[in-house]
Amino acid sequence: MTTPATFQMTAQQIAEIVKGHLDGDGTRAIRGAATLTDASEQDISFFHNPKYIDQLAGTKAQVLLIPEKMNGALPSLPGKTYIKVAHPQFAFAQILMLLDKGRVHHPQGIHPRAVIDPSAKIGAGTAVGANAVIERDAVIGDNSIIYAGVYVGERTHIGSNCLVYPNVILREDTHIGNRVIIGPGAILGSDGYGFATIQGKHLKIPQIGRVAIADDVEIGANVTIDRATTGETRVGSGTKIDNLVHIAHNVEIGKDCLIVAFVGISGSTKIGNRVTLAGQVGMVGHITVGDGAVVAAQSGLMNDVNPGELMFGSPARPHKEAMKIQALLGKLPEMYDTLKTLKKKFLPEN
């Protein structure tokens, strides 16, 4: 791990930070954080899922974040120090945040090699890295970090406290809220894939809309989000998008969604709030996915999905039905043989 060599806290201090209940020796020194299997004796770790009870039993970590309300008994681990919290994983995230402090030197100030149009407005405390290009009438809020090689198109707005990693491209008129994180190589505002096909030739439909990203969104590396034909392609606040996702023109995504790698969302489809789209899910255009729906990995959606529904398969069916079919597929050879026997016995003429 890449922990700063200078980090050191006691179990007691950590318990106070995460507002947890200390059970064991509070004077133990913590110098880093790691998973149960990777931890050394000086790392803090966390346990939140009974599935990992064996890892807990074998961990070298001496200080452990555990749930206030345990599902089942802890193994007897003499000498361990426990810190009991409501959400061990979140408490662990808080410790990682402390370790993360000072780990990286983000760009500071305006690099002399940044290329900034005189009409662009850069907020107080905002940094712009080497070779970044900020076009005319672009606006960036306060305390945002624009890494090297980022391209910010004309009239594009970036809010405050954003983190934009190297080589991100935000084409013209893109609108980014506050506290948005954009991974390296992500592209927002590329042309939507729209053509009018006349006598076999595909004629380009100009894409003059834009992309609008709300507050607290995170966007992964090499993601592509196309601008709308007219109007907006929208991502709602708090939604987290993994690497290499594709969001087509005029798609609207709600709040607090999870969209995993290689998901492809076709044009004008509407995704509700708190929807989970697992890896490699694809969906056709012009459909609606209701609030809280969950689509399992590699599924293909061809129709609307009701709120809260769990879908699976290509094409997707309700999860229970899809799993039943999967189970029966395993019995297909046996079914075929039985049918052959019955046919031979009762339908010999066929």
Report the distance separating Cα 64 and Cα 62, nearest Å: 6
Nearer to its own copies (CB atom), residue 27 or residue 207: 207
61: contact with its own copies by CB under 8 A? no
Nearer to its own copies (CB atom), residue 12 or residue 222: 222
288: contact with its own copies by CB under 8 A? no
Measured in degrees and rounded to the nearest 5, phi and psi for residue 56 equal -65, -45
Q: Which of residues 36-55 bind its own copies (CB under 8 A)?
A: 38, 43
> Least separation, in Å, of the C-beta of 256 and its own copies?
6
Q: Using CB under 8 A as the criterion, what x/- string covers residues 320-339 for binding its own copies?
A: -x--xxx-xxxxxx-xx-xx
> Least separation, in Å, of the C-beta of 269 and its own copies?
12
Token pair 């991502």 is found at 235
Nearer to its own copies (CB atom), residue 79 or residue 201: 201
For the annotated catalytic residues, the residue numbers are 249
Stretch touching its own copies by CB under 8 A, among 77-85, 120-128, 138-146, 149-157:
149-157
Nearer to its own copies (CB atom), residue 15 or residue 301: 301
121: contact with its own copies by CB under 8 A? no
State the greatest distance between any 2 C-alpha atoms of the chain, in Å, as a whole number: 88
Among 11, 15, 33, 162, binds its own copies (CB under 8 A): 33
# chain residues binding its own copies, by CB under 8 A: 122
Nearer to its own copies (CB atom), residue 72 or residue 112: 112
Angle at 342 between CA 338 and CA 346, to 5 degrees: 175
> Least separation, in Å, of the C-beta of 42 and its own copies?
13
- Tell me if 10 sits within 8 A of 28, measured CB to CB: yes
> Least separation, in Å, of the C-beta of 314 and its own copies?
5
Pairing of strands 317-318, 310-312: antiparallel
Among 17, 139, 261, 310, binds its own copies (CB under 8 A): 261
Q: At what angle do helices 332-346 and 319-329 cross, to 10 degrees?
A: 60
Q: Which of residues 208-237 bind its own copies (CB under 8 A)?
A: 208-210, 218, 220-222, 224, 226, 229-231
Q: Which helix (H) or strand (E) holds 43?
A: strand 43-46
- Tell me if 145 sits within 8 A of 125, measured CB to CB: no
Residues, the chain, total? 350
Nearer to its own copies (CB atom), residue 48 or residue 73: 48
- Mapped onto helix, strand or coil, the DSSP state of residue 271 is strand
240: contact with its own copies by CB under 8 A? yes
Among 90, 108, 121, 308, binds its own copies (CB under 8 A): 90
- Tell me if 173 sits within 8 A of 213, measured CB to CB: no
Angle at 309 between CA 303 and CA 315, to 5 degrees: 40
84: contact with its own copies by CB under 8 A? no
Q: Is 192 exposed, middle or buried (0-12, 13-18, 19+ CB in 10 A)?
A: buried
Among 50, 204, 306, 308, binds its own copies (CB under 8 A): 204
Report the distance separating Cα 348 and Cα 246, nearest Å: 55
Q: Which helix (H) or strand (E) holds 63?
A: strand 63-67
